[in-house]
């Protein structure tokens, strides 16, 4: 994680908020804390957040409202985990995900489960960066990030609540935009952060024009300098 980023913990319950923050800090994640949605927006504006963990029921504006504002300001690249104190069923969980969360946890939260999700989402958001990310839509970045995690097409579809056919279309567009022929080549570019343009990598199509290279030292003209 970038030293200038942190995990933003948003919860109206001070004990729960402190416990989450302690668990994250022990795992090496710096944190910011906020009691309300308004405080969360202010904290996100002061310091870049690598991820937000937010209770859905907050004093004032709900977690759902705040997640929409965070999405508007920082885009789909900011991972958000919803936390729900009340007992819920699968329908509630799906509703929470559809309203903007990347993941969902019900209290009491097993900290090992939380940390596994945090590691996955932080790594996923960082996996597609730089020149590669600038070529892709937020959804395409999500798909490529999950490919980089080793997920198969059906698993990606389940994770993103879309059909395998839609995943296949996203992958096809990703390959076209990055100028590569396989998923493996796209993942290599994503993880390395290389620009697809003008790079002499294994992802180049055969016969593609190579960038200007340094002269061959074995055949250069003129006497050797001493």
**How confident is the model over 74-101, as pLDDT tens digits?**
877 788 999 887 655 556 666 666 666 7
Q: What confidence tier does 222 reach under pLDDT thresholds 50, 70, 90? A: very low
Q: What confidence tier does 142 reach under pLDDT thresholds 50, 70, 90? A: confident
Whole-model pTM above 0.75? no
Give the residues across from 80 on adjacent strands: 52
Q: What confidence tier does 202 reach under pLDDT thresholds 50, 70, 90? A: very low
From the number of C-beta atoms within 10 Å of its C-beta (0-12, 13-18, 19+), residue 27 rates as middle
pLDDT at 200 over 60: no
Residue 175 has a pLDDT of 93
On the question of a cis peptide bond just before residue 168, with omega within 30 degrees of 0, the verdict is no
- What whole-number distance in Å separates Cα of residue 110 and Cα of residue 156? 24
pLDDT at 31 over 90: yes
Strands across the sheet containing 49-55: 31-34, 6-10, 49-55, 80-84, 103-106
Kindly state the percentage of the chain with pLDDT values over 70: 72
Answer with the residue of higher pLDDT: 98 or 135.
135
Q: What confidence tier does 1 reach under pLDDT thresholds 50, 70, 90? A: low
Number of helical (H) and strand (E) elements in the chain, helices listed first: 10, 5
pLDDT at 111 over 70: yes
- Torsion over CA: 103, 29, 45, 15 (sign): positive
């Amino acid at each position: 994680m970038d030293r200038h980023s942190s995990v933003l913990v948003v919860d109206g319950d001070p004990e729960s908020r402190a416990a989450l923050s302690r668990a994250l800090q022990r795992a090496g994640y710096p944190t910011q804390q906020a009691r309300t949605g308004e405080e969360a927006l202010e904290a996100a504006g002061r310091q870049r957040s690598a991820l937000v963990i937010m209770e859905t029921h907050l004093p004032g504006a709900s977690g759902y409202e705040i997640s929409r504002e965070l999405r508007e300001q920082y885009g789909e690249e900011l991972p958000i985990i919803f936390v729900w104190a009340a007992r819920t069923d699968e329908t509630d969980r799906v509703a929470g995900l559809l309203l903007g969360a990347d993941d969902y946890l019900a209290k009491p939260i097993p900290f090992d489960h939380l940390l596994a999700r945090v590691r996955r989402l932080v790594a996923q958001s960082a996996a597609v960066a730089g020149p590669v990310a600038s070529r892709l839509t937020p959804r395409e970045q999500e798909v490529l990030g999950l490919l980089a995690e080793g997920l198969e097409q059906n698993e990606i579809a389940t994770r993103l609540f879309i059909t395998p056919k839609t995943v296949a279309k996203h992958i096809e567009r990703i390959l076209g935009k990055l100028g590569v022929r396989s998923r493996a080549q796209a993942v290599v570019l994503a993880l390395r952060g290389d620009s697809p343009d003008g790079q002499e990598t294994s992802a180049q199509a055969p016969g593609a024009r190579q960038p200007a290279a340094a002269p061959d030292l074995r055949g250069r003209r003129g006497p050797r300098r001493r």
